[in-house]
Amino acid sequence: MKTIAIILIGIITILAFIYGPGALKIYRIMHLYDEDKISHNFINMRDLFTTSESIARSTKAKAIPKSNELFSLPESYKFDGKDQNLESALKHFKTDGLLIIKNNKVIYEDYFNGNTATSKHISWSVAKSFLSALVGIALRDGLIDDINDPITKYLPDFKGTGYDGIKIKNILQMSSGVLFNEDYADPNSDINKFGRAVAAGTSFRDFAKTLTNHKEQGTYNHYVSIDSQMLGFLLVEVTGMPLREYLHKHIWEKIGMEDDAYYLSDDKDVDMALGGLNATLRDYAKFGLLYLNNGKWDDEQVVPSAWVDASHNMDAPHLQPGVNDLSSSAWGYGYQWWVPGFPDTDYTASGVYNQYIYIDPLSDVVIAKTSSNHRFTAEKEYSKAAHVAMFRAIAKSTNSNL
């Protein structure tokens, strides 16, 4: 075993010498989710990968007020046909942070696994929901003419690729028709090829141009993270600024985000729009509160209320929750927001390894959760369904306990 370890170290050293930082990034990706490292890695991504300049905390940073009323988590939640222990589940799914807001006040906040109130935790695909808000703002401000426009109207260099003629709306709703395998457990999946290609120096943009179209757009819901990256390219084009600056100007500053944040980026300094946002749990929760309040913060309509509604309104058969021949997911989908369904009144931002911003308008509740669930690839759908059951039990509990 010692000889094998020496050989591996030697190979990595040679690769690092030949290929430079790219080889080291690939090695880090290979070990990013190791059980003994994952929690530390998820709150220290800046030490591991290329990142953007910081998104500065708001000049009017202000904490969400804490409730004076005591709240305790419910002991159990109903799932898989029986009562499950909530505390055990939170441990099993490697919860790094949990924050609950009720009636615009924090009623619960706790951190685990080395995570703290000021840790910048990777959001993964929760970042897509921030991206959606920015598209809605750009549309309101006339920077995008119509979401039914083909994206190649604004990004002509994508003509002749899988995104040629694809409507912005279909990209928002993960219905582009682009062929993509998002299975993190499959080393040969497109999402894993994407990670390795970027680590080796391929730009986000160049990788996106390699994808091909598979189905008629607007007819089938299939999760393609590069769809979200395309929305990031769109925003950079129409705003004339990096995504991080647009996010700071229109969300971070306006709703008083308490801490700095940052994106993972490629070697061209392009922000990883599809899942590279790193921020504190409190600021994730604050974004959820913005949506709970229909896009309004204090006296300003930060995100158009009609856009907030449309973001979790599934307006076509292929977007509906449940077993659906027109979708590869059992959850419904809006504008980069998920709708678990049954009932369709709550919705969530969701990222791999169990990151969430859950919103229940009926209970007036927001739940933000960061995690480092090393088991995620083996229990993906189970863990997602379990979290919805947990969140619904918590939201219901707030109605009776407060």
100 forms beta bridges with 108, 367
pLDDT band at 22 (very low <50, low <70, confident <90, very high): low
Least confident stretch, 3-12, 93-102, 155-164, 212-221:
3-12
pLDDT band at 16 (very low <50, low <70, confident <90, very high): very low
pLDDT at 3: 55
- Please, which residues have CB within 8 angstroms of residue 344's CB and are 6 or more apart in sequence? 314, 321, 332
When pLDDT is averaged across residues 61-73 and rounded to a whole number, the result is 95
- Same domain? For 7 and 135 the reply is no
Give me the chain's average pLDDT, please: 94
- Same domain? For 2 and 114 the reply is no
- Same domain? For 206 and 349 the reply is yes
- Domain residues for 3? 1-30
With beta carbons less than 8 A apart as the criterion, state whether 178 and 224 touch: yes
Query: Is the confidence at residue 15, as pLDDT, over 50?
Result: no
CATH code for the domain of 60: 3.40.710.10
- Same domain? For 7 and 125 the reply is no
pLDDT band at 28 (very low <50, low <70, confident <90, very high): confident
pLDDT band at 21 (very low <50, low <70, confident <90, very high): low
Which secondary-structure segment (H or E) carries 152?
none
Distance CA 298, CA 286 (A): 13
Q: 3-class DSSP state for residue 110?
A: strand
With beta carbons less than 8 A apart as the criterion, state whether 362 and 350 touch: no
- Same domain? For 155 and 246 the reply is yes
- pTM of the predicted model as reported, rounded to 2 decimal places: 0.93
- Same domain? For 392 and 275 the reply is yes
- Same domain? For 255 and 299 the reply is yes
- Same domain? For 106 and 23 the reply is no
Q: How many domains does the chain have?
A: 2
Q: For 162-206, how does the pLDDT look when each residue is reduced to its tens digit (9 = 90+)?
A: 999 999 999 999 999 999 999 988 989 999 999 888 888 899 999
Considering all CA atoms of the chain, what is the largest pairwise distance in Å, rounded to the nearest integer? Answer: 66
Distance CA 207, CA 124 (A): 19
- Same domain? For 231 and 139 the reply is yes
**Is omega for the bond preceding 21 within 30 degrees of 0, making it cis?**
no
Residue 163's φ and ψ, nearest 5 degrees, are: -100, 5
Query: Is the confidence at residue 6, as pLDDT, over 80?
Result: no
149 forms beta bridges with none
Distance CA 376, CA 93 (A): 8
With beta carbons less than 8 A apart as the criterion, state whether 325 and 311 touch: no
The identity of residue 365, as a single letter, is V
Which of 112, 109, 73 has the alpha carbon at shortest distance from 95?
112
pLDDT at 400: 84
- Same domain? For 159 and 130 the reply is yes
With beta carbons less than 8 A apart as the criterion, state whether 63 and 104 touch: no
Query: Is the confidence at residue 126, as pLDDT, over 60?
Result: yes
- Same domain? For 246 and 356 the reply is yes
Segments of 171-290 assigned E as strands: 262-263, 277-279
- Same domain? For 15 and 109 the reply is no
Q: 3-class DSSP state for residue 332?
A: strand
